[in-house]
Amino acid sequence: MKKIVLLFVTFLSIFRFTASADEGMWIPMFIDRLNYTDMQKMGLKLTAEEIYSVNNGSIKDAIVIFGRGCTGEIISDQSLILTNHHCGYGSIQSVSSVESDYLTNGFWAKSHSEEIPVSGLTVQFLISMSDVTTAMLAGTTENTTEAERIEILKKNRKSIETQATTGNHYNAVVKDYFEGNEFYLLVYETFKDIRLVGAPPEVIGKFGADTDNWMWPRHTGDFSMFRVYAGADNKPAEYSADNKPFKPRHFLPVSIAGIQKDDFSMIMGNPGTTDRYLTSWGVDMAVEETGPTIVKIREEKLRIMKEGMDADEKVRLQYSSKYAGTANYWKFFIGQTKGLKRLKVAEQKKRIEADFNAWMDASPVETKLYGNALPLISGAYSTIRQYNVSRLYYAEGIMRGSEILGYANRFDKLKQLLADKTATPETIEAEVKQLKSGATGQFKDYNRQVDQNLLSEMLSMFSANVKPEHQPAMLKEMAAKYKNNFAAMAADIFSKSNFVSVEKVNTLLNDPKVKTIEKDPAYKLVQAFMKEFTVLQKQSEAANFDLQKGNRLFLAGLREMQPGRKFYPNANSTLRMTYGTVLDYYPADAVHYDFTTNLDGVMEKEDPSVREFTVPEKMKEIYKNKDFGPYGNPDGTMTVNFLTTHDITGGNSGSPVIDGQGRLIGLAFDGNWEAMSGNIAFEPKLQRTINVDIRYVMLIIDKYAGAQNLIDEMVIVNDRPIK
């Protein structure tokens, strides 16, 4: 009888866990074993080796981690990079000024000599990936505590990474997969001389901005172009006028043949984070606390920044990138909370957990191995929720709120060195030099009044919404002193702090003293916050250890419960592949969304009185004359964006959409509103990736910018059937 029950439970769990053909962020090195047959059936014409290879040039060699959180692709033998406009936004802004406003006006280099170096921007190529699970777990046993395990893993990780980078110019990182059940070593080649090549004006690259963000239909030319430069040996080098374009191992040809419904396509990129194996307790916390709290805090930050930006053109340029970054996930969390509720994801998770318990009940062996998993998770969340809202206010409102607090905190190391009688003058001078070098950049895109307003509002919100027992004593004392007039409190801090201008910072650094730093009101306040936050972290440490162990056991058990299922790990900012088709969808009853949008829609949305819906005169002229060249459709329309069924998340921005023959057909740049719960639960009927059609990119480069030099260096393919 027990066998019958076990078979029935297994059947139910497989039914509930079965992934759609388009679900999954797959590890490319396992394509041949896990995905290749399915991909061939859907229309793939390449071999697995042509997609991912360590020994030969393959598609993976054309994919880069762009900056700190996006993906880019190499599209020429001179290492021309294509990525999203919103990925390049901060870099474009950093080289802009009121006089040379490349965000507003766009930028196009007509030769290599005109390309603009971007300080601090890097791209990383994945060289290799290997399984190091055995080496990482060496020294651990089933009796090892979580605290001990963390220390052992830390030691082993350092050893593995050091060994991988000794005697070469690579950098390496060991990443956790499947909640710490597996570990892989990733070796990268990082380039630091990256130059801006081209970008459309913001009204094209960010058309629709916050209003259209996460929405379909979209009409956005979300792309920008950069180039990788290398030294004479074709290896990474610091910026030099003598550097030459890097010679890549592979680049993607561009197809202007166009897309059709049900066409096969795949995406390779570096998705940030997902939590597909999150339990019902985690979903409940996300819906009830995490999402609403983040939205509430960011809403106020956006309001304050916008007030300053609307009042002053210089402030608009300074804060444009900061505003965009804050707004993106403000809207995301609104959509995620709605999606999790609407799709009843917590209920889905509870059914999975019930299946898991039933499976264990049918076998004493499994109960012994995994019986603690769900109780550990449940108990952990019970404790974590006591601190969750407070933690979010510390993170979003304090450390990512007003810049003065985070900046003041950077001077703590200098204060410690000055107080340390064993510290050498050389060590102190090196720290002073580093702080001086960073001061100019800190205040380049900074407005004192905006930051003061942010401090006032964030302190007010923190005081009103964080449990009194989780607040620093100093804040409560100051609130009493100023009678909860946080505007007056913030004004007083700014009037007395050394961290409000480059001039004051340099004055401090020219004669640094312990007392000068210690007495600074911004420094004192942030240290009070940091001290109290450390206490909160310590109080929830045991619960976090239990959650970590519970999640690891739960996923290990799920994989054993379903030996025939192909599991993919959560995203963790490493190279992944997802595949699917070009497809429309039905977001609600009696509502249908087609899979493409056209330039007609841009003109329909045009509103000269609203910045984000302004259309440049030259684009209007191109549209009026139907001057689409080889990029338009046979019916005389011009495709702008299209939908696919790919499984992506943040970090995939800028990822190439590639056809079955390995050619670039678009760039992924967004997900759709109806599937904002996708980081936690994939919904195949609703989840879509929004992409820029490569033909629209080419139209802008060619007809709008007249950048024939860029067109000439690409390999462009057009094998559209003649009708």
Residue pLDDT, tens place only, 499-543: 999 999 999 999 999 999 999 999 999 999 999 999 999 999 999
- Identify the pLDDT of residue 334: 94
- Kindly list the distances between the CA atom of residue 140 and the CA atoms of 150, 160, 161, in Å, as whole numbers in the listed order: 10, 16, 19
Domains with residue ranges and CATH for the chain: 51-252 (no CATH), 387-538 (no CATH), 580-717 (2.40.10)
Structure token digits, residue 677: 């719960």
Upstream peptide bond of 200 is cis (omega within 30 degrees of 0)? no
d(CA 655, CA 83): 7
d(CA 285, CA 385): 7
Q: Indicate if the pLDDT at residue 544 is higher than 50.
A: yes
- Identify the pLDDT of residue 22: 80
Q: Indicate if the pLDDT at residue 586 is higher than 70.
A: yes
Q: Are 86 and 206 in contact (CB under 8 A)?
A: yes
Helix axes 448-465, 473-481, angle to 10 degrees: 110
501 labelled catalytic: no
Average pLDDT over residues 24-48: 95
Residue pLDDT, tens place only, 184-196: 999 999 999 999 9
The active-site residue, picked from 85, 86, 250, 646, is: 86
The active-site residue, picked from 53, 76, 653, 655, is: 653
Structure token digits, residue 86: 């919103």
Confidence of residue 388 (pLDDT cuts 50, 70, 90): very high
The active-site residue, picked from 22, 222, 445, 546, is: 222
Strands (E), 10-134: 63-66, 70-74, 80-83, 107-108, 116-117, 123-131
Confidence of residue 9 (pLDDT cuts 50, 70, 90): very low
Structure token digits, residue 356: 């898991």
Residue pLDDT, tens place only, 699-719: 999 999 999 999 999 999 998
219 labelled catalytic: no
592 labelled catalytic: no
Q: Are 566 and 26 in contact (CB under 8 A)?
A: no
Residue pLDDT, tens place only, 473-506: 999 999 999 999 999 999 999 999 999 999 999 9
d(CA 258, CA 722): 12
Structure token digits, residue 441: 């950049």
Nearest Cα to Cα of residue 152 among 141, 140, 169, 164: 140
Confidence of residue 21 (pLDDT cuts 50, 70, 90): low
Q: How far is CA 352 from the centre of its chain?
A: 29
The mean pLDDT of the chain is 94
Task: Determine the number of helices (DSSP H) and then strands (DSSP E) in the chain.
Answer: 31, 22
Beta strands 716-717 and 254-255 are parallel
Structure token digits, residue 265: 């396509």
Residue pLDDT, tens place only, 636-658: 999 999 999 999 999 999 999 99
- Identify the pLDDT of residue 638: 98
Average pLDDT over residues 147-157: 97
Q: What is the DSSP letter of 717?
A: E
The secondary structure of the chain in percent helix, strand, coil, rounded to multiples of 5, reads 50, 15, 35
